Structure 1
Amino acid sequence: MNAMSHPYAGDGTHTKSYYAASANPAPERPELSGNGEIDVCIIGAGYSGLSTGLHLVEKGYKVAIIEGARVGWGASGRNGGQIVNGLNASLQTIKKRYGQDTATFVAGLVQEGGEIIRERVKTYDIQCDLKDKNIFTGLTKAHMRELEERMNLWASYGIKNQEMLDKDQLRAHINSDLYEGGLIDHSGGHMHPLNLALGEAAAFEKLGGTIYEMSPVIDVDTEAARPVVRTAKGQMTCKTLVLCGNAYLGHVVPTLTWRVMPVSTQVMATEPLGEERAHALIPQDACVEDIRYILDYYRLSGDKRLLFGGGTVYGGADPSDIESKLRRNMDKVFPQLKGVRVDYAWSGNFALSFSRVPQMGRIGANTYFAHGYSGHGVTGSHTFGRILSEAIDGDLTRFDVFENVPWYPFPGGRMFRVPYSMVGSWWYALRDKFGV
């Protein structure tokens, strides 16, 4: 398949990441060809599509997933691998914007995505190096106040598995002098993200689901009583359509194109460090992210590499030199790693919503969508997949709450959303730098 047929995915193969290099064996699925009919058709074989599909086949639905490249090709197969509870927007922000009832509702599901992941891994014996705990770090006194406020706020909603760490306590988890302290979430964790996606795809197929790969969607009819999805070689007619393309849906569904903006983030993987050296860096094997606006995030892989990520590029372009972009920050966190070899460096897009709250809704009567996780898609996508499956199965209780949350376009419209967001990020970066 040539690049012209995959305008967003090159030749459709996975990016040259550590995850692709260490992926579990997986079959190559056929392209969609000819005309087909199905109960539910899902566009996108990332976490949102796989989660929705797996929940539905467990309920007995006939489901097909159409993927433009390979399973987990997008953000689901190249992210930091961190199970971080919550949305990008804080519970306090949600309360201010949408009211106490919505904040209470969101608080009731912020840990659900991680619980779903753990259940999937256990039920379907998915080999993805799943580990527990994540740590949020603060670089300034202001960051530490913010973390304490977060812990107390979550505790007020009954979420009490977080605890503050002062500078000395944090050293037991992260061997770095950079931080003032941190907050550990015992219900967080990390895993190999591509292997999680591949394992969920295998479970979906074992229960009767069908996945078509290398089948970019070129047209969608959402107005028909039975939606139709068209690719270069075939089409699928369905009772219910679910759009889970997220940052890579492109312009296929114009109604959704300008609701979110693609933003790229970067990750690199060092050479294997060995058990002793890796343990000296992160003794408890938790994953870590700081709370700056443009943050660093890192963890150890199953074979004891340091996976270090960060940076953002609004609009979704890939930096010309990912390693140089990330290495300076890695050296600040762990100066003892200066000169260590980097074996892999890659980039990928997530979908940013202006409000930093994911969006869920319908187009017409029989087309559903979910997108805009804003960097918190590992857990959010699994939760939203369950909610979408509930709605399709007739229970709209939770779906209706999210569908009724207002969404806001990016100021400046199509032309100026990128420069507007860049100016905003510079402002928040300055606040982080000066500790305000």
Structure 2
Amino acid sequence: MSDAMDWQADVGRDLMQSTGARLALLVRGEGASVWDADGKRYLDFLAGIAVNSLGHAHPVFVDAVATQAATLSHVSNYFATPPQLALAARLKRLAGTGPEGRVYFGNSGAEANEAAFKLARLHGGAERPRILALRDAFHGRTMGTLALTGKPYMQEPFQPMPAGVEHIDSTVEALEAALDDRVAALFVEPIKGEAGVVDLPDGFLQAARELTARHGALLIVDEIQTGAGRTGEWFAFQRAGITPDAITVAKGIGGGFPIGALITFGAASGLFYPGTHGSTFGGNPLGTAVADAVLTEIEDAGLVENAAVRGEQIRAAVAALGSDLVAECRGAGLLIGVGLRHPVAPAVVAAAQEHGLIVNAANDTTIRIAPPLTIGDVEVDEFAEAFGKALATVTDALLLENTPQTSEASA
């Protein structure tokens, strides 16, 4: 194993440079805390980008991994297993699909959205070549999901994109103008996480459901970042009181184990047929056993309700800091975007890390907060103290930068 001082060199030499610089070498986690190779503790209020629903090393997670790994870990998709069937039934119940719903398992959010893309193509055929998605939305980095992602700067190095996807503004007026009988599907993030935790306008999802139903298009809701209780509901679409044709989930359902799923409702459940899609590892007993255990704990421990309560506490704590840097808080539950008045989010993240807090800059003016669903009063208070110090550090730096300096000659 490399010495702690050598890890940055190891990263530069051995890892593909497709991401930015690594911020620390983390070696251990427990609950909402992680420790780096030098023994420094951090309060983790990012949770692997909304992944670690139960925090780190939760006994339920650890036991599920160990028990299933000692029993049956992989058998291919030629066979069914009890954990796979149990998780599918649980997801259908939590999403409210009814008995006609179906579940396809993959290994990530991108794979879930790729399956949804193919679902849309199967529904549309030659008569419905158009697929709509929202500007500034994020659905993944594979070629299919990148085509759905409404961020031109991400697409530019990989052009041409798969054809047929059009991006529209997140307004009811844009929906009304774009939807017609040649649209196969509309893809929607109920909260745009990678855009800075941006809420959709009031009534948008209801309008999307009404218009897609009127024109015979599928409404596909990307719940990869918002699902598994993070927003204070099991799935964010439920806040709008609608029933989509399909949702995609990943991240928080596995609590740290890689898994994703496409969940269908109604007639959309009959679109796939043998040979149209598959995955060697998708739905393996190890992944599905862990995800079922994670969702069971979220349900039994009341963590969906906890997400709603703690989210309000965090918003109140941020407001109580009285920082001139903070413009607003967006999002729902424990998916929060703190909007800043100046493009200094990366500096705030760095200052927070210095004070033992892990958060994320979704963009230059947004701090993303997505802690484990298990947090309580102690963690919220610790967050407020560290975040307040980080904001103060950056505010002081801004004041110093904008204060005219008196020269010796004029003094």
TM-score (ref. length: structure 2): 0.27
More strand by share: 1
Q: Considering only CA atoms, is the larger Rg found in Structure 1 or Structure 2?
A: 2
More helix by share: 2
